[in-house]
A and B are shown apart, each in its own frame.
Chain A
Amino acid sequence: GEDVEQSLFLSVREGDSSVINCTYTDSSSTYLYWYKQEPGAGLQLLTYIFSNMDMKQDQRLTVLLNKKDKHLSLRIADTQTGDSAIYFCAAGGGADGLTFGKGTHLIIQP
């Protein structure tokens, strides 16, 4: 089955860019997602990318997909304290259930 891996922690200074990386194993995954989870809260969909795209930009968020290497990244420009959360990478095939990574804790230093 699908396996999704991501690093557990990332620490950045406020105002810098954050880059969160993810790798997945199933090349047939149709959609790749980034979700944000704040303490005690549910999962908030940040953005997703279709597997035939290389890049997607949405305001401060940029998603890059390297399908050959099965590598996905999320760049957050001008990181703010409100961006502090756990970021989950997930892979899936359209209407299928998603396979999630363990999440990356984004820590913002003042």
Chain B
Amino acid sequence: EAGVAQSPRYKIIEKRQSVAFWCNPISGHATLYWYQQILGQGPKLLIQFQNNGVVDDSQLPKDRFSAERLKGVDSTLKIQPAKLEDSAVYLCASSVGDRGETQYFGPGTRLLVL
């Protein structure tokens, strides 16, 4: 079974530029999550989708971050404009979504903002 796919794996941009990350969850998983992991910390939930609807985006900085999952499968996370403090690893995870007890994580996108 293929795992959660993410691209790109690495991205370097200058502050005030825009960047987008892509995630393809495990086939059949209804729930998709985006986490931000800053160096030396645990992952922090940014947004959670159930199919194509947002379940929880309470920790998403909505002035600069946006995410969508239009067809209920893959998802994009965008930052516009980026700040230095956005340097982090962005992790995508998915779960079956029925009971959702197991979240499977992708390899992450490592973002460096200069």
Contacts and interface: CB of A to CB of B under 8 A. Distances in A.
Interface in B34-90: 35, 40-45, 48, 50, 55-56
A102 interface: yes
Given A41-B107, A42-B107, A45-B103, A95 B41 contact: no
Contacts of B91: 42-43
Contacts of B55: 95
Contacts of A41: 107
Counting contact residues on chain B (CB < 8 A from A), the size range is 20 to 34
A32 B32 CA distance: 19
A59 B56 CA distance: 36
Contact of B104 (A45, A94, A96): A45
A42 B33 contact: no
Interface string A13-43: 0000000000000000011000100000111
Contacts, number: 59
Given A42-B106, A42-B108, A100 B101 contact: no
A95 B103 CA distance: 9
B31 interface: yes
B49 to A, nearest CB: 11
Nearest to A90: B42
A99 B100 CA distance: 14
B104 A102 contact: no
Q: Nearest 7 pairs between A and B by C-beta?
A: A95-B100, A100-B42, A97-B45, A43-B105, A42-B107, A42-B105, A97-B48
Given A43-B43, A88-B42, A97-B33, 6 more contacts: A42-B105, A42-B106, A45-B102, A95-B99, A95-B100, A99-B45
